[in-house]
Amino acid sequence: EDKPINTIPAMLVQAADAISASRPGARREVLEKYLERVKKMEEIACSFEGVSKAYAIWAGRELRVMVEPKDINDKEAEELSLEIITEIEKKKKDKELSYPGQIKVTVIREIRSVGYTK
């Protein structure tokens, strides 16, 4: 780690190591710490008005946020995703939340209409 990288294989090994290290558990991350991080992410999303459910998926790399369509319109859904991102980044800066890489925040506003034929 402290030695300069002089060869292409050394660069490839360093890149592979970085990719591997970002996976949960790759560096002996305690399961409890991982679950705490995922729970914290979901709590952040659920703290916003109009959010009905939030799920951290893909090992905490993505946060899917379900909103009530009657409470949140399309424009507000876009704004909500940015507000959630801002809050997550603030928690990271304040060292209340840590995560490797980046987190994708997806706000889902869904309306279903079903009809039947006779």
Instruction: Kindly list the domain boundaries of the chain, sorted by start residue.
Output: 30-109
Best CA proximity match to 103, nearest among 56, 45, 67:
56
CB atoms under 10 Å from CB of 81, counted, come to 18
Condensed to tens digits (0 to 9), the pLDDT of residues 50-97 reads: 999 999 998 889 999 999 999 999 999 999 999 999 999 999 999 899
CA distance 105 to 68: 17
* Half-sphere CA count of 16, side-chain side, radius 13 A: 6
What is the identity of the amino acid at 18? Answer: A
pTM: 0.70
Q: What are the phi and psi torsion angles at 105 (to 5°)?
A: -110, 120
Q: What is the pLDDT of residue 9?
A: 87
CA distance 85 to 11: 32
Q: What is the pLDDT of residue 59?
A: 83
**Class in CATH terms, 30-109:** alpha beta
Q: What is the pLDDT of residue 47?
A: 97
Q: How far is CA 115 from CA 38, 109, 112, in A?
A: 38, 20, 10
- Chain-centre distance of CA 85, in angstroms? 9
